[in-house]
Amino acid sequence: MSLINPIPDTNWLKNNKDNLRVSDEAYLELVQIYDLIDSIDWEYSRINDDATLIDKINQFATNRKKTTVSVVYIVKNEENFILKSLASIIDFADEIIIVDTGSTDGTLECITELSREKIFLYTFEWCDDFSKARNYANSHASCEWILVLDADEVVDDFKNLKLLLSYFKLFDSFSDTVFNFNIIRGSDYYKTGKLISNTGAFQYRGRVHESFYSINNKDIYYANLKINVYGQKRENKEKASYYNELLLKTMLDYPTDSRWCYYYFRDNYSQINLNQMFEYSCKSIFKRGNIVSENNFISNYFSVHIIMFILSKMIDENNYILFDCYLNLIEKKVSGHSDFIFLKYAREFRLIQEDILNSMKSFLEEYNKCLFSENIFSPNCINSLLGYYLFLGGFFEESGLIFRELNLNIRDYPSFINENLINYFQKIHDESYSCNDF
């Protein structure tokens, strides 16, 4: 049975306004809840049926069914953050599940002092697995939806979310959809799954950087909601080291799942070499062995980004044996993405730079032996080439010194010396510029 797409094109509502039996107030509410949806993955799995959608909207306007949400936490030593987080969702939540995993500070006292009827506190013995703790916490949720938060996360605006979830109830349970929120931690910004329907269709997987997975291995769809969650950046070496241990164990638990390999590369890029990247990623990005081909590539969001890390490391290590093969694997997926364009031309630039450095080496060897007597061309010509080579080779300060010492007179140069380049260097190395400025 095909499912109805509940979120039509942005112009659909305007074009069908006359067919809707809704008040002006209800119409504005529809505009607001449609605006909460940033993007969705479910289009191709759901049909656009105008007649059914109009009927559902009319039902929503006349007989709106309330929906309920459980907000779920796992916490440990969060006395400095948990109260602020709870304050941001206390009016939105119908039920708050808090699972403590071994607090030794005042976290439990903070929570128990609230004495709210909707807050339920449980304990869980920590076992180096965030997923097990989260699944235990979610198992206690009794509402129709589950919203998962960390203790330091504050939600800025739930104004229309309940309305959207009530609207969704008219269509189906959305047991195939994970709803992403915008996560903002200082300068870090990303999207992650925060909201699911409480149908038992999902469980967390992964000892760290845990994520929702279908318990029946069915396709999962994602909908991005325009809801911001603000958290704290609480990174330290001890925490990073612990997360790395859990990541490596998770990679062994799920060797064919590229998600965990991606996070390990992201968190440890500067500490691992290209051969280690090949070793860690092989099983998760290729179906059989390490055969680099489109048919053998397991193409998904994480595997594509793993390839980008590998390409970048190839550039770092000047190892281009498989560069074109790996680049071609992801070109169809991300050809217009800035990361892809950067990697493609960073390699080109590195090769150009190597040619320049090799040419500069030969030039310098001959320059040191050259004789100046009865010259046809001004000595400025060859000295300017020295300045150009130094500039293109990345020796900017030395290049600046050369050009500042030259008497740059265009008449001293043959026609093949580019006049625009000479004018450019005159400008950046004249008396108003210092080497440090340059």
Percent of the chain with pLDDT over 90: 66
Is this structure's pTM higher than 0.85?
Answer: no
Residue 119 pairs in a beta bridge with 96
pLDDT tens for residues 228-264? Answer: 999 998 888 999 999 999 999 999 999 999 999 999 9
DSSP 375: -
Residue 205: pLDDT band (50, 70, 90) is: very high
Residue 420: pLDDT band (50, 70, 90) is: low
Count of CB atoms situated within 10 Å of the CB of 62: 11
pLDDT at 437: 43
Residue 436: pLDDT band (50, 70, 90) is: very low
How many helices (H) and strands (E) the chain has is answered by 16, 13
Instruction: Give the span between the Cα atoms of 178 and 45, in whole angstroms.
Output: 15
Instruction: Give the span between the Cα atoms of 140 and 124, in whole angstroms.
Output: 12
The alpha helices in 65-149, defined as continuous H runs, are 82-89, 107-114, 130-139
DSSP 2: P
Residue 434: pLDDT band (50, 70, 90) is: very low
Question: Has residue 147 got a pLDDT over 70?
Answer: yes
* 26 alpha-carbon distance from chain centroid: 36
Count of CB atoms situated within 10 Å of the CB of 437: 9
- Position of tokens 């031309």? 345
Distances, alpha carbon 9 to alpha carbons 6, 13, 234, in Å: 10, 8, 40
Q: Which of 389, 399, 384 is nearest to 365 (CA)?
A: 389
pLDDT at 418: 58
Instruction: Give the span between the Cα atoms of 215 and 200, in whole angstroms.
Output: 8
Task: Estimate the crossing angle of helix 301-316 against helix 258-268, to 10 degrees.
Answer: 30
Q: Residues of 172-201 as b/e, b for ≥16 C-beta within 10 angstroms?
A: eebbbbbbbbbbbbeeeeeeebbbbbbeeb
Taking all residues of the chain, what is their mean pLDDT, rounded to a whole number? Answer: 89
pLDDT tens for residues 71-117? Answer: 999 999 999 999 999 999 999 999 999 999 999 999 999 998 886 78
Residue 306: pLDDT band (50, 70, 90) is: very high
Average of pLDDT values for 361-370? Answer: 91
Identify the top-confidence range among 22-26, 223-227, 369-373: 223-227
The backbone torsions φ and ψ at residue 195, rounded to the nearest 5 degrees and listed phi first, read -135, 130
- Does the CA dihedral 149-151-156-159 come out positive or negative? positive
